[in-house]
Amino acid sequence: MPRWEYLTTPLMIHNTAAILNNWGSDGWELVQVVNGPEGGLVAYLKRPIVETN
């Protein structure tokens, strides 16, 4: 079973695609976007943890 690491990041409404593409190029997958506690958007992302033995 894969293990995951998670990340949350604020999204600037005028630059969402660039922000998400940047994280995606590092292997992060978008899980959800929600309204943050201060009214902005927050993205939740995940990626598998690479096991090095």
Q: Which two tokens stand for residue 45?
A: 């992302």
This prediction has a pTM of 0.84
Question: Which amino acid is it at 22?
Answer: N
Q: What is the pLDDT of residues 1-39, one digit of tens each?
A: 889 999 999 998 898 999 999 999 999 999 999 999 888
* Through-space distance between the first and last CA atoms of the chain, rounded to whole angstroms: 16
Measuring CA to CA, how many Å separate 15 from each of 4, 22, 29, 38, 49?
Answer: 26, 11, 17, 18, 27
Q: What is the pLDDT of residues 31-51, one digit of tens each?
A: 999 999 888 999 999 999 988
pLDDT of residue 38: 86
Instruction: Give dist(CA 31, CA 4) in Å, integer.
Output: 12
DSSP 15: S
Q: Which residues pair with 29 in a beta bridge?
A: 46
